């Protein structure tokens, strides 16, 4: 069984979904740190409510 723990501040209330607008990961790639930048769009398959 796989378990994932998320800070309640980034979870959409009443769901088990992560709110991508509240999640700001720090990505380490080839000795450089990156963020995700601004949102460019969304998929029609997204179940996350848009604000």
pTM over 0.85: no
Given this model, what pLDDT does residue 48 score? 61
- Strand 32-34, strand 27-29: pairing: antiparallel
Given this model, what pLDDT does residue 29 score? 76
4 is a domain residue: no
31 is a domain residue: yes
Q: How far apart are CA 40 and CA 18, in angstroms?
A: 18
Residues spanned by the domain of 35:
18-51
Given this model, what pLDDT does residue 9 score? 92
8 is a domain residue: no
23 is a domain residue: yes
Q: Are 18 and 11 in contact (CB under 8 A)?
A: yes
6 is a domain residue: no
13 is a domain residue: no
pLDDT means over runs of 10, the chain (51 residues): 89 89 80 72 64 55
Given this model, what pLDDT does residue 49 score? 62
Q: Total structural domains in the chain?
A: 1
The string of DSSP letters for 2-40 reads ------GGGBPTTSS-B-TTT----EEETTEEE---S--
7 is a domain residue: no
Q: Write out the two tokens for 44.
A: 């029609």
């Amino acid at each position: 069984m796989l378990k994932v723990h998320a800070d309640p501040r980034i979870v959409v209330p009443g769901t088990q979904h992560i709110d991508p607008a509240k999640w700001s990961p720090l990505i380490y790639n080839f000795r450089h740190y990156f963020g995700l930048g601004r949102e460019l769009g969304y998929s029609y398959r997204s179940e996350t409510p848009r604000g």
